[in-house]
Amino acid sequence: MARIPHPIKAHPALTYQEPLMVRIGRYAMTGTLVLLVLSGLYVAVWFLTAMNLRSGIEDWTKARQSEGYLAQYDDQKARISGFPFNVKAQLSDVAFAPPVEKNGKRPWVWSAQKIAFKIVPLPWSIGELHVDLSHHQKLSINAARFEGKAKKFELLLDWTSKGLPDDFSVEINNLDLENKNNSYRFFIDHLMALTNRQSDGAYGFDVNGEGLNLPVGISGLGRKVDDIILRGQLSDGFGQTGLSKDTLMGWRDNGGTMEVERLQLKYDPLMIQGNGTLALDGDMQLVGAFSARIQGFFETVEQLHRGGVVRGPDATMAKVVLGMLAKHPDTGGPLSISLPLTIQDGTFFAGPVRLLEMPKINW
C-alpha cells in the first residue's frame, strides 16, 4: 500500500506580510527624505539665482559706466526678496543716459523711482527675467522735462544670453508723461515689440504701436503717430557679441543687412506701406532701398518744406516729377503713389528726386 506524503507546512518567514501601517510609514519616510532633498536643492537654486541676479545687475551697470553711460541706482536701497516662489530685486532712484556728446551734454536722461525684477526659479523659466518699469519716472530731452508713469511697462528677456537677448519683448500700455513746462504730453496708448534669435542665426523683430504722442517729432509733421507696424529680421550674427561700433562693423563686413518684410506707418498726413532693405556703408551710415505705396505724399512734402526739412527746389521738383505717378486706386480712395525710396550718400530719394538730407549717426 502506497504511503501518503505528509503535508509540508510553510515556514512563517515565507508567508509573512508587512503590516499596512508599517508600509505606509516606510513610504512616508522615503517621500519625506526625497522632499527634503528636493527642498534643499530648490533653496540652493533660489539663493544662487538671487546672487547671480544681483551680481548681473552690478556687472551690467559697471560695464555701461565704463562705456561712458550714466547708469546708477541707490545701492543702499537695493533689495532681494520673493522667497520661496520668486526671486525679486528692487532698485530705487535709478538713472540712465547715453554718453556725453560733443556739445558736452547727454541727449536725454531717464530716471525712475523704482525698477522691479523677477525670476521664477524653475527649470523651464529660470532664464526669463521680468522687468517692471511702470513706476513713477522722468525723462529729460534737451529743455523738455516729462514726468509720469505707465499702467503697464514690462520687459521680458532671456538674461542668460550673450550679447543681445535671444528672446526679448516689451509691452507698454497707457504710458503718460506730462511736460511740466506746458500742456504737451508724451504718451503711448499701446506698444508691443518682440525680438528673437532664429534657428539660422538671424535676429527677427516685430513691432506694433498705436496712439503714440512722441517727445520729439519731425519738424512740420509733429509728434503724433497713429499707427506703426515694423516686421523683419537682421541677418546672421547681429548682436551676438553686443552692439559696439566694432562688432557692428564686423557684422557689416560679413554682409549684415536688415530686411524689412513689412512697414506700415500712419503719421498724418502720411500713410506709407512697403518693404525693403537697410545696411551700413563704409562710414557706418545708413543705406537702403524700399518699395512703397504712399498716401498723402504731396501734403507731407509741403509740410516738410514749411518745417524747413525739405528745401523749396526739392519740394517743387518732387511735386512736378512725381505728380505724374500719382493715381486714385481702382477701388476708390485717396490719391496714392507707388515708387522706390532709397537712402545713399546721406540723402533720401523719392524715386529719382532728391528729397532731404539724412541725420548723421554719431558713433
Residue 8: predicted pLDDT: 61
Residues 6+ apart with CB under 8 A from 82: 88, 118
Which percentage of the chain shows pLDDT scores above 90? Answer: 53
**Per residue in 130-139, pLDDT tens?**
999 999 999 9
Pairing mode, strands 70-72 and 79-81: unpaired
CA distances from 169 to 24, 122, 131, 192 (A): 49, 20, 10, 7
More confident site: 66 or 41: 66
**Which triple of cell numbers denotes residue 337?**
503713389
Mean per-residue pLDDT, 206-235: 92
Cis peptide leading into 359, omega within 30 of 0?
no
Residue 3: predicted pLDDT: 62
Per-residue pLDDT band at 242 (split at 50, 70, 90): confident
**Per residue in 17-38, pLDDT tens?**
767 676 677 677 777 777 777 7
Q: Could you tell me how far CA 329 lies from the centroid of its own chain?
A: 36
Q: Say whether pLDDT at 263 is over 90.
A: yes
Per DSSP, the three-state class of 319 is helix
Residue 287: predicted pLDDT: 95
Per-residue pLDDT band at 253 (split at 50, 70, 90): very high
Helices (H) and strands (E) counted in the chain, each on its own, are 5, 17
**Which triple of cell numbers denotes residue 225?**
503717430
**Per residue in 281-290, pLDDT tens?**
999 999 999 9
Helix axis angle, 297-306 relative to 312-323, nearest 10°? 170
Report the mean per-residue pLDDT for the chain.
88
**Per residue in 298-338, pLDDT tens?**
899 899 889 888 899 888 888 888 877 777 666 666 788 99
Name the burial class of residue 91, with classes exposed (0-12), middle (13-18) and buried (19+) by CB atoms within 10 angstroms of its CB.
buried
Low-confidence winner among 23-27, 243-247, 253-257 (lowest mean pLDDT): 23-27
Q: Give the C-alpha separation, 44 to 261, whole Å.
A: 46
Residue 285: predicted pLDDT: 93
